Each structure stands twice: as C-alpha cells, then as structure tokens.
Amino acid sequence: MHRVRHLGTATTSATNSLIPALQSPPPPLPPWIERQAASKPTLQNWRVAIKANIATTGSGTTSCASKLLRDYTSPFPATVASLLASHGADVLPQKANCDEFGMGSYAIHSTHGPVVNPLDMERVAGGSSGGSAAAVAEGVVRVALGTDTGGSVRLPASYCGVVGFKPTYGRFSRYGVVSYASSLDTVGVLAKSVDDIKTVYDVLNVADPKDPTSIAQLHEGPDCGQRIFLEEGDKPLAGIVVGVPSHVASMLPESTLSRYSNALELLEEKGATIVSVDLDNHQYALGAYYTIASAEASSNLARFDGVRYGSTLTSDDGLAGLEQVRNMFGPNVKRRIMLGTFVLGSSSYASYFHQSQVVRRLIQESYNNVFKAVHPITPSESTERVGDKIAKCDFIITPAAATVAPLLKDVQKGAVVDECADDVMTVPVSLAGLPAIVVPVGESASKEGELPLGMQIIGQFGRDADLFGISRVLT
C-alpha cells in the first residue's frame, strides 16, 4: 500500500487517500482569479485536497488515477483549484486518490491502489472520489474536492460519514476537470460540516468564461434555504414540504429503511411536512445513465492516444505504439470505452443511445412534476389532470446508498453490475442535473459500533443554496 510522503502529522494518511506529489514550486495564479478573491470569504489555513482528475499545476500530478497519466502534470490549473488557492486555502500538492477517470463506485480501480475506509479498514471508502472522502473523514484535510458524474461524491460521503455536496450541473466550473461524461460531470465538495460546504460553495459559485456550460449567474428565485438557515427555535422547517419517492422503500433492506424512517421522523419533529411523491421512469435510470456515460466516455477518452497526453512514443512506433498506450487503461475503463463505442454504433444508436436520452428527459420531467419550484431552463408542462392532485414539495429525501460501505474483499470479487447498481439512489439526480447534499442525519448517522449511511436531500435545478438550510437542521 502507498503511504503519503510525510509532511507533518496532519497530512499523514493511512488509507491511501492521497497520491504523492512531485517536487516543484507552485506557479502564480491567473490574474482574473486573483480579482475574484477580493469580495469572497477567506479560506485561510483551510487544508484542502483535490481529486486526481482535477488539474492543478506545480508538483501535484493530474494522474486521474490512471497508469497512462501516472506522472502527468498539467500546464494550467482548473478554475476551481485556482479559486480555492486565491482565497487562501492551503491546497495540498498531493492529489486525492480515486477510481481511474472517475469510473467506479468503490475507489478500487486506481493505479495507486484502492482507498480503504478510515472508519473500518476492511471496507471500501466508496467511489469514485474515495480519496477525497477518506481524507476528510481521517481529518487529514478540512475540505476536499471530488467530481460527481453519477454519485461519486455522494456515495463516498455516505460510506465515510461525511457531508458531500453535488451542485446543479454547470454551477461550478468544469474548466480543467478531466472529462468523463461531459453532460453529467460536476465538481463536488466534501467536508465534515454543512457550514464548511457552504463557505466553499460561496467561493466556487462563480461564472467562468472558460466553461461554456457555466450557469453560476442563474437566478435562483426566492431562497427558502436561506430562510431555514437563519431560522431559530424548535421548528425551523415549518412550512417546508419534503417528498418521499414512493418507489424507493421497496429497493431498500430493513436496516436502511429504519434509518430512513428515523430521518423522516426528525424532519417532522423539526416542522417539515412529509408527502409521498411519484417519480416515473426511475426504474430505467441506471440503464440510461450507464449508456450515456459510457458513450460520452468513449468519445472523451479518444484523446489519450499517446500523441497529446502521457506520450512516450515516436513516429516509428506506429499503430503498435498506439495499442501500447491504449492498453494502459485499466479493465474498468476499457469496458466503458467498448460499451460506449457499441451504443454509439449505427446499428445500436437508435435502440440504446437515443432511448437513453428519451429516458433522461422523462426523468427530468418527473422531478419537474413534483417540485414546487419551476425548472429555470427546461420547465415541463404540468401533467396534472383534472381531479388528480399531485403532491408538490420543496425537497426530496432518499438514502444516498442502499447499504453501508461494503467489504473490500467482497467488491474485489463481486460482479461489475453490482458495482453499477450501488448508484441506484444517485444517478437519477445526475441525469436531471439537480443539486443534492448527503448528510449523516441525526439517528440515521452511525451509532457507536455502526457504520454510517448518509441521507440525500435533492433540490430543484439551480436551487443549490436551499439545500444548506435543511441539511444543517438535520446534522
């Protein structure tokens, strides 16, 4: 197992959460980032780790946990990394370990070795941002950045008992984030408290001219989250309606169900009204997600051809050289590329890729039908029929995972589909581009001797800031 180069006790990790850095001085920050820092809160003395698929300059590698990019250093930093540094954060040169290119649910597909769970070293930390979650849980850093394409911040947050936030798609800049599935990729934040996540949110919620999908300036409408945040007294959630998807309970084991109902009781105690909501077509979410994500990955990863990145080839190497470079991808990444290439082929496009896009839109609409707030970009026509009252809510709550962190030995010999199925609670949210936060909630958080299981609170598109109020009340 790799151990982090000793930089004082605070950066020593026993869980393989951090990837050692190379030796070189940090470069200056881009001037426009320096200007952004002026009016934002300070992160002075906040130690931060950044996932290995987010570009940083200087001594930190951007290996994406891949053999192909093992010693790769980026010539430019990701906007999110620059923003943290410009607000005074102590950004570690060591990068947070993860699944190769962010593909996986357990942080076991890494050229740097698997990340283990600091709460129980026999178990996985969750993936793909397992190093980020483990580093926070261990106390090596105060905050870590991860990426969340289908659940990669939320699942490890749940398994490691920390708070994990996935923003609305486009909220944080993706400039300098190595693309896995571009229409789903987001940068997420992990920390021990909701307040720390909110502070980092305020720093990263910046429109980036370098990212054409950046929506930081999107109007959020009246902010019920802000109201809850400031609310005093016993019932801070009075007037807030929380939806419980009617299909979820049948997918959960008894132990998770009891934690789920404890969380619902706590919500009611704090004044919230709980309603059952019907989210149609969610049974197709996993299939649609893995089809779309693999298709986009097969296209994005075509750039790793030995010519532009991680190249050791010369013109004499020819096709055999290309094969040699592509062979450096691990088996999980190869599987995604092959699946993605297949679903984009002319004979399968209509039945797989196109169908998945249709399912994606239906899932988006199913959320639109139950949220009180209107989707600011793609509102759906109301499906409410006469006499048919659909319950509307401010938030939706589900567990973040069906179970607590599995044993490393079990997942290493487990089936590939089981790994994919562990995302069942998180991928529908990603397909719809919605914001969500995972928190260890009151009684449902780990009791002594028990492993944690986070609850996921989901908001309407663009309503990121609303999530902080309700999740703060629950922790």
Return all residues near 236 (Cβ < 8 A) that are at least 6 apart: 228, 270, 271, 469, 473
Instruction: Please give the Cα distance from 103 to 178 (Å, whole number).
Output: 12
Active-site residue (options: 128, 173, 214, 298): 128
Question: Is 471 known to be catalytic?
Answer: no
DSSP, res 379: P
Number of residues that bind ligand GLN (CB under 6 A): 14
Q: Long-range contacts made by residues 106-109, C-beta under 8 angstroms, separation at least 24? A: 106/130, 106/406, 106/408, 106/411, 106/419, 106/422, 107/131, 107/134, 107/156, 108/408, 108/411, 108/412, 109/65, 109/330, 109/331, 109/332, 109/333
369 touches 390 (CB < 8 A): yes
Q: Coil, helix or strand for 90?
A: strand
The span from the first CA to the last CA of the chain, in angstroms, equals: 34
Name the minimum Å distance from CB 196 to ligand GLN: 21
Among 105, 179, 298, 398, binds ligand GLN (CB under 6 A): 105
Q: Does the protein bind ligand GLN through residue 293 (CB under 6 A)?
A: yes
Backbone angles phi, psi at 417, to 5 degrees: -65, -30
Which is nearer to ligand GLN, 272 or 297 (by Cβ)?
A: 297
What are the Cα distances from residue 265, in Å, to 251, 353, 475? 20, 41, 14
Of these, 69, 85, 103, 453, which contacts ligand GLN (CB under 6 A)?
Answer: 103
CA distance 310 to 322: 12
User: Which is nearer to ligand GLN, 60 or 102 (by Cβ)?
Assistant: 102
> Is 372 tagged catalytic?
no
Report which of 356, 354, 368, 383 is spatially closest to residue 432, judged by C-alpha positions.
Answer: 368
182 or 380: CB nearest ligand GLN: 182
Residue 147 within binding range of ligand GLN, rule CB under 6 A: yes
Q: Pick the catalytic residue: 63, 74, 152, 356?
A: 152
Does 300 contact ligand GLN by CB under 6 A?
A: no
From 138, 148, 211, 466, residue interacting with ligand GLN (rule: CB under 6 A) = 148
Determine if 343 is a binding residue for ligand GLN (CB under 6 A).
no
For strand 47-51 and strand 241-245, is the pairing parallel, antiparallel, or unpaired? unpaired
Residue of this chain nearest to ligand GLN (CB atom) = 152
| Among 423, 428, 440, 464, contact with ligand GLN (rule: CB under 6 A) | 423
Asked whether position 62 contacts ligand GLN by CB under 6 A, the answer is: no
Q: Which of 11, 152, 158, 444 binds ligand GLN (CB under 6 A)?
A: 152
Window contacting ligand GLN (CB under 6 A); options: 42-50, 147-155, 302-310, 406-414: 147-155
Establish if 286 lies at the interface with ligand GLN (CB under 6 A). no
Task: State the minimum distance, in angstroms, from the CB of residue 124 to ligand GLN.
Answer: 12
Q: Is 61 in the site for ligand GLN (CB under 6 A)?
A: no
Q: Which of 77, 93, 102, 440 binds ligand GLN (CB under 6 A)?
A: 102
Scanning 91-150, the segments in alpha helix (DSSP H) are 130-138
Alpha-helical segments (H) within 345-438:
355-370, 408-412, 416-421, 427-432
For residue 95, indicate whether it is catalytic.
no
In 222-342, at which residue ranges do the beta strands (DSSP E only) sit? 241-245, 273-277
Backbone φ and ψ of 158, nearest 5°: -65, -50
| Residue among 51, 95, 198, 270 flagged as catalytic | 51
Nearest distance in Å: CB 103, ligand GLN: 4
Residue in the block written with tokens 């930190």: 60
Could you tell me the smallest distance in angstroms from the CB atom of residue 180 to ligand GLN? 6
* Among 56, 86, 128, 158, interactor with ligand GLN by CB under 6 A: 128
What is the β-pairing status of strands 116-117 and 47-51? unpaired
Identify the residue whose tokens are 């492993």.
451
From CA 115, how far away is CA 95, in angstroms rounded?
A: 13
Stretch that binds ligand GLN, among 101-109, 279-287, 368-376, 456-464 (CB under 6 A): 101-109
The residue behind tokens 């092959």 is 338
Nearest residue (CB) to ligand GLN, 164 versus 442: 164
User: Per-residue x/- marks for ligand GLN, 219-258, CB under 6 A?
Assistant: ----------------------------------------
Region from 24-32, 103-111, 353-361, 464-472 binding ligand GLN, contact rule CB under 6 A = 103-111
Tell the smallest beta-carbon distance from residue 289 to ligand GLN (Å).
7
Judging by beta carbons within 10 Å of its beta carbon (0-12, 13-18, 19+), is residue 39 exposed, middle or buried? exposed
Which of residues 180 and 284 has its CB atom nearest to ligand GLN in the complex?
180
Stretch that binds ligand GLN, among 25-33, 100-108, 114-122, 446-454 (CB under 6 A): 100-108
Q: Which residue lies nearer to ligand GLN by CB, 394 or 423?
A: 423
Site residues for ligand GLN per CB under 6 A: 102-105, 128, 147-152, 180, 293, 423
Active site residues: 51, 128, 152
